[in-house]
Chains A and B, each alone.
Chain A
Amino acid sequence: MSKKVDQNRRKALHITSGIVGAVTVAGFAVPFLSAWNPSEKAKALGASVEFDLSKLEVGAMAVLEWRRTPIFVVHQTSKALENLPKLDSKVTNPAIEEGITRSENSKYTVLKGVCTHLSCAPKYYPEIEPKAWDQEWLGGFFCPCHGSKFDLAGRVYKGVPAPTNLEVPPHSFDGDVLIVGDSA
């Protein structure tokens, strides 16, 4: 301790080694954090799914599975396409800019079958008839868990627990084939 200590040198060394140490920790963290990203297996399972629309009758709904989520594909009737704009005032977010069907196709609607309230699966009631939950029902989805109502394009009615419209998954059309998921 008798020799003079160069405090400036020590300070510089402290800072340098501190930086090197921090880089080391950060460097070690990168692979460990990235390992939690979806693996190639998960990506393979989560790849896009295809669906042949030519077999879906008018007014019918098909349920696909994509990333372990039910995907509702509705072939809209001309009646439904007429009715949908009438409901603009009844729904919370009319989403007019998305088009009537809210899809890239004027006949089909593609929705994630997950209620935006508490993740139950809404049921499909296309009939135009008075229902227990709505005397002026024009067809749509009704969630049996907490009574949320959506129209045939998945738009949420006012005054129900669900806050937002049913989500539209990324999708595209290739002729008669619907591709759900990011096109590869």
Chain B
Amino acid sequence: MIRGLIFLLLTFFSGKLLPAGESECGSLESCLEYKADVHDLYSLQRGLGVYMNYCSSCHSLQYLRWNRLQRDLDIPETILQDDLILNPEIKSSDYMIFGLNEGDSTAWLGASAPDLTLRTRVRGESWVYTYLKSFYEDASRPLGSNNLVLQGSSMPNVLASIQGNQQLSDKGFLVKVSEGSLTDEQFDNSMKDLVNFLAYAAEPIRRDREKNGIFVILFFVIFTAVMWLLNREYSKDIK
């Protein structure tokens, strides 16, 4: 009887459930699967590069400090000051806030550019990855571009120069109509780097916890073993 109930419980906990807020990818049937890898330091550094080139003119990272970034991504002091922060007024302990303030972006783009620190945790890594790859030309939009994942997105397609332009075919597929400076594969990898970096920014401690968690768990395995032996010894008394 109890076994039956446990079986029921197991069937409940296995199987894929769709939790609250799980984003379906807009007009796409499903998102392209992507799981960020925050342990590849070079990928994170490349992702930071993509971020600084294509995202940072509008999107801040308001919860991430420059010096945290420097420590975690192993960036030399001089590069941080001279190539990343640029502005001598900004201290390395400041947050990564960038130029465009909300009022300006609302005036130019019709919507404020959201802060991206926690965005990958809100939307999910697959969503962000798919979103970045789903821009297409749309003359009906004020800035001439649209996105399959977020229809009517007010974000202009800043990636067109590296990806090339895409158009929506009659069947609803994205078709590439011009070449960008990167090959498809290079572009894919760049976007993966960017998502990795954003996943890092959303939770800087993730690198640490996924690296060191195993030791805590191993310790409790030993704890269990020792306590099991202790208990077995004493339970002989009451057999």
Are chains A and B touching in the complex at the 8 Å CB cutoff?
Answer: yes
Which residues of chain A have a CB within 8 Å of any CB of chain B? 1, 3, 5-6, 9-10, 13-14, 16-17, 20, 23-24, 27, 40, 43-44, 47, 184
**A-chain residues with CB within 8 Å of residue B219 when the two chains form the complex:** 23-24, 27
Q: What's the nearest-Cβ distance from chain A to residue B34, in Å?
A: 30
Taking a contact as CB atoms closer than 8 A, the residue among A1, A13, A23, A43 that contacts B233 in the complex is A13
B237 & A1 in contact (Cβ 8 Å cutoff): yes
Tell yes or no: B236 within 8 A of A by CB: yes
- Contacting A at CB under 8 A, from B65-121, are 65, 68, 91-94
Interface residue tally for chain B (C-beta within 8 Å): 18
B94 & A44 in contact (Cβ 8 Å cutoff): yes
A9 to B65, CA, bound (A): 54
B91 & A47 in contact (Cβ 8 Å cutoff): yes
A47 & B230 in contact (Cβ 8 Å cutoff): no
B226 & A17 in contact (Cβ 8 Å cutoff): yes
Tell yes or no: B20 within 8 A of A by CB: no
**B-chain residues with CB within 8 Å of residue A10 when the two chains form the complex:** 233-234
Q: What's the nearest-Cβ distance from chain A to residue B85, in Å?
A: 12
Name 27 A/B residue pairs within 8 A (Cβ), A-sorted: A1-B237, A3-B236, A6-B233, A10-B233, A10-B234, A13-B226, A13-B229, A13-B230, A13-B233, A16-B226, A16-B229, A16-B230, A17-B226, A17-B227, A20-B222, A20-B226, A20-B227, A23-B219, A24-B219, A40-B65, A40-B93, A43-B93, A44-B91, A44-B93, A44-B94, A47-B91, A184-B92
A24 to B216, CA, bound (A): 10
**B-chain residues with CB within 8 Å of residue A16 when the two chains form the complex:** 226, 229-230
Supposing A3-B236, A24-B223 touch, asked if A17 and B230 sit within 8 A by C-beta, the answer is yes
**B-chain residues with CB within 8 Å of residue A24 when the two chains form the complex:** 219, 223
Which residues of chain B have a CB within 8 Å of any CB of chain A? 65, 68, 91-94, 216, 219, 222-223, 226-227, 229-230, 233-234, 236-237
**B-chain residues with CB within 8 Å of residue A14 when the two chains form the complex:** 230
**A-chain residues with CB within 8 Å of residue B230 when the two chains form the complex:** 13-14, 16-17
A44 & B65 in contact (Cβ 8 Å cutoff): yes
**A-chain residues with CB within 8 Å of residue B94 when the two chains form the complex:** 44
**B-chain residues with CB within 8 Å of residue A43 when the two chains form the complex:** 93
**A-chain residues with CB within 8 Å of residue B233 when the two chains form the complex:** 6, 9-10, 13
Give 4 nearest A-B pairs by CB, closest first. A44-B93, A13-B230, A17-B230, A20-B226
Q: What's the nearest-Cβ distance from chain B to residue A80, in Å?
A: 34
Taking a contact as CB atoms closer than 8 A, the residue among B93, B222, B226 that contacts A47 in the complex is B93
**B-chain residues with CB within 8 Å of residue A40 when the two chains form the complex:** 65, 68, 93
A155 to B68, CA, bound (A): 40
A20 to B230, CA, bound (A): 12
Q: What's the nearest-Cβ distance from chain A to residue B65, in Å?
A: 6
A14 to B65, CA, bound (A): 48
A1 to B229, CA, bound (A): 18
**B-chain residues with CB within 8 Å of residue A44 when the two chains form the complex:** 65, 91, 93-94
**A-chain residues with CB within 8 Å of residue B223 when the two chains form the complex:** 20, 24
Which residue of chain A has its CB nearest to the CB of B93?
A44
**B-chain residues with CB within 8 Å of residue A17 when the two chains form the complex:** 226-227, 230
A10 to B235, CA, bound (A): 12
9 additional contacts, CB 8 Å, given A14-B230, A43-B93?
Answer: A6-B233, A10-B233, A13-B230, A20-B222, A44-B65, A44-B91, A44-B94, A47-B93, A184-B92
A5 to B233, CA, bound (A): 9
**B-chain residues with CB within 8 Å of residue A5 when the two chains form the complex:** 236-237
**A-chain residues with CB within 8 Å of residue B226 when the two chains form the complex:** 13, 16-17, 20
A10 to B93, CA, bound (A): 55
**A-chain residues with CB within 8 Å of residue B227 when the two chains form the complex:** 17, 20
A85 to B91, CA, bound (A): 40
**B-chain residues with CB within 8 Å of residue A9 when the two chains form the complex:** 233
**A-chain residues with CB within 8 Å of residue B216 when the two chains form the complex:** 27
A120 to B20, CA, bound (A): 57
